[in-house]
């Protein structure tokens, strides 16, 4: 039984800031397969239904919405994801301020992204930047505001952030880093964004992309342990018997790095969800669960650049470049104590599988080989 509080059947979120905004992907294409498939797989799909309360001792869920009532479970998987973090600024409630997490969010923004519209994007993370790129493609006048000294500061090397600043500028967006946002101006509708120095940037639309808050409350109100997400072990078990968690809401052991972290990636949601669901079934049958071991993987599309990130680029002490960044096709290896802990692939998606093997192996490879394009990635993976 699959329960979700959104009206739509399950759908992919990645296109929401990309091809859905530009109109290249119709909304139906984001759905995870045809509706008949759920019946075929014997899945009861309850959309428009919210799980309000969890009673772990009674193995009971209290639901509201289309299928309100109580439900007894044998095994429960919490995959409640996250909700957007709201801008804590005066004027953030004005008409014209948008966020992008759901189909509704994307569809309400899309018709406003018309040629000449003044769009201010607050937040230089992936969702903000993808939205900025989509808006530029549609002919909008775009300004990106980022409070850090560069873009993508949380997940990439500063050099990469600066490369993205240049990319957005080259494509006609205005990028302001170290921006201090003082308020959003307008009576009922947005007219501008006021910066700390008193400058007012005229705006018809403001798009805010400043991260998400994991939806842990269903679990924590029931006494389940959480710390930046619901804490799970390598099998997806939470601190309550028969309750599991996965995806954006779960704080998981990331084996390849020996850390516990919350990953906000499509691949983690898909692969983690499948692995934990398989464990739920195995344990119902009395079989042993298997650890979820996956090399983190994420991608982002902006303009003509496809970036893939393999591994979690945290705690690196050196970055080695392979290829010419000016060509738009190159790789970046993040090293920690000589070991490759993450790889950024720019327009080189075909090498991603070798990149995953390299990061998974956690080997120390000669820097000269990493930088040398004539040494194939396949051979580095085998080394």
Ligand X SMILES: Cc1cc2nc3c(=O)[nH]c(=O)nc-3n(C[C@H](O)[C@H](O)[C@H](O)COP(=O)(O)OP(=O)(O)OC[C@H]3O[C@@H](n4cnc5c(N)ncnc54)[C@H](O)[C@@H]3O)c2cc1C
Q: Which residue is nearest to ligand X (CB)?
A: 81
Provide, rounded to whole angstroms, the least separation between the CB of residue 297 and ligand X: 7
Instruction: State how far the Cα of 262 lies from the Cα of 255, in Å rounded to an integer.
Output: 13
Instruction: State how far the Cα of 323 lies from the Cα of 346, in Å rounded to an integer.
Output: 10
Provide, rounded to whole angstroms, the least separation between the CB of residue 123 and ligand X: 12
Instruction: State how far the Cα of 43 lies from the Cα of 62, in Å rounded to an integer.
Output: 20
Q: Which residues of 281-299 are buried (b: 16+ CB within 10 A; e: fewer)?
A: eebeeeeebeebebbbbbb
- Residue 218's nearest CA partner among 64, 352, 32 is 64
Identity of the residue, 186 or 247, whose beta carbon is nearer to ligand X in the bound complex = 247
The number of beta carbons lying within 10 Å of the beta carbon of residue 179 is 23
Give the footprint of ligand X on this chain (CB under 6 A): 3-6, 13-14, 16-17, 50-51, 79-82, 100-101, 127, 215, 218, 247-249, 264-267, 269, 298-300
Provide, rounded to whole angstroms, the least separation between the CB of residue 371 and ligand X: 27
Query: Contact, 370 vs 333, CB < 8 A?
Result: yes
Provide, rounded to whole angstroms, the least separation between the CB of residue 338 and ligand X: 28
Residue with tokens 């957005």: 168
Identity of the residue, 100 or 256, whose beta carbon is nearer to ligand X in the bound complex = 100
Identity of the residue, 278 or 320, whose beta carbon is nearer to ligand X in the bound complex = 278
Identity of the residue, 20 or 190, whose beta carbon is nearer to ligand X in the bound complex = 20
Provide, rounded to whole angstroms, the least separation between the CB of residue 6 and ligand X: 4
Q: What kind and span of H or E run contains 82?
A: strand 82-84
Provide, rounded to whole angstroms, the least separation between the CB of residue 52 and ligand X: 7
Identity of the residue, 230 or 370, whose beta carbon is nearer to ligand X in the bound complex = 230
Identity of the residue, 96 or 125, whose beta carbon is nearer to ligand X in the bound complex = 125
Beta-carbon contacts of residue 2 (< 8 Å; ≥ 6 apart) = 10, 38, 43, 44, 45, 46
Q: Decide: helix, strand or coil at residue 277.
A: helix
Provide, rounded to whole angstroms, the least separation between the CB of residue 154 and ligand X: 14
DSSP letter for each residue of 288-320: PP-------EEEEEETTEEEEEES---S-SEEE
Identity of the residue, 148 or 306, whose beta carbon is nearer to ligand X in the bound complex = 306
Residue with tokens 């005066």: 90
Provide, rounded to whole angstroms, the least separation between the CB of residue 229 and ligand X: 10
Q: What is the DSSP letter of 104?
A: H
Q: What kind and span of H or E run contains 217?
A: helix 217-220
Identity of the residue, 310 or 340, whose beta carbon is nearer to ligand X in the bound complex = 310
């Amino acid at each position: 039984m699959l329960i979700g509080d959104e009206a739509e059947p399950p759908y992919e979120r990645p296109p929401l800031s990309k091809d859905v905004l530009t109109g290249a992907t119709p909304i139906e294409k984001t759905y995870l397969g045809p509706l008949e498939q759920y019946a075929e797989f014997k899945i009861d799909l309850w959309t428009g239904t919210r799980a309000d309360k969890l009673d772990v001792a009674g193995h009971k869920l209290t639901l509201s919405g289309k299928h309100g009532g109580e439900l007894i479970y044998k095994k429960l998987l919490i995959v409640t994801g996250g909700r957007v973090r709201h801008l804590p600024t005066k004027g953030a409630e004005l008409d014209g301020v948008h966020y992008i997490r759901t189909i509704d969010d994307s569809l309400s923004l899309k018709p406003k992204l018309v040629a000449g519209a003044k769009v201010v994007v607050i937040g230089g993370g992936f969702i903000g930047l993808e939205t900025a790129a989509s808006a530029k493609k549609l002919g909008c006048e775009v300004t990106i505001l980022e409070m850090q000294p560069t873009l993508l500061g949380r997940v990439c090397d500063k050099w990469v952030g600066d490369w993205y600043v240049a990319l957005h500028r080259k494509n006609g967006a205005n990028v302001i880093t170290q921006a201090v946002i003082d308020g959003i101006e307008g009576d009922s509708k947005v007219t501008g964004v006021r910066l700390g120095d008193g400058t007012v940037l005229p705006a018809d639309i403001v798009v805010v992309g400043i991260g998400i808050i994991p939806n842990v409350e269903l679990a924590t109100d029931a006494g389940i342990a959480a710390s930046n997400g619901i804490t799970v072990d390598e099998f997806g078990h939470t601190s309550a018997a028969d309750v599991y968690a996965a995806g954006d809401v779960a704080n998981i052991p990331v084996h390849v790095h020996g850390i516990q972290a919350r990953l906000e990636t499509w691949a983690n949601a898909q692969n983690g969800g499948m692995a934990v669901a398989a464990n739920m079934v195995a344990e119902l049958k009395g079989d042993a669960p298997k650890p979820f071991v996956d090399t983190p993987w994420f991608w982002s599309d902006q303009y003509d650049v496809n970036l893939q990130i393999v591994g979690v680029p945290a705690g690196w002490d050196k970055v080695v470049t392979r290829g010419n960044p000016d060509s738009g096709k190159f790789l970046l290896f993040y090293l920690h104590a000589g070991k490759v802990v993450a790889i950024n692939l720019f327009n080189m998606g075909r090498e991603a599988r070798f990149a995953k093997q390299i990061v998974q192996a956690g080997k120390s490879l000669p820097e000269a080989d990493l930088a040398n394009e004539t040494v194939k990635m396949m051979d580095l993976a085998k080394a």
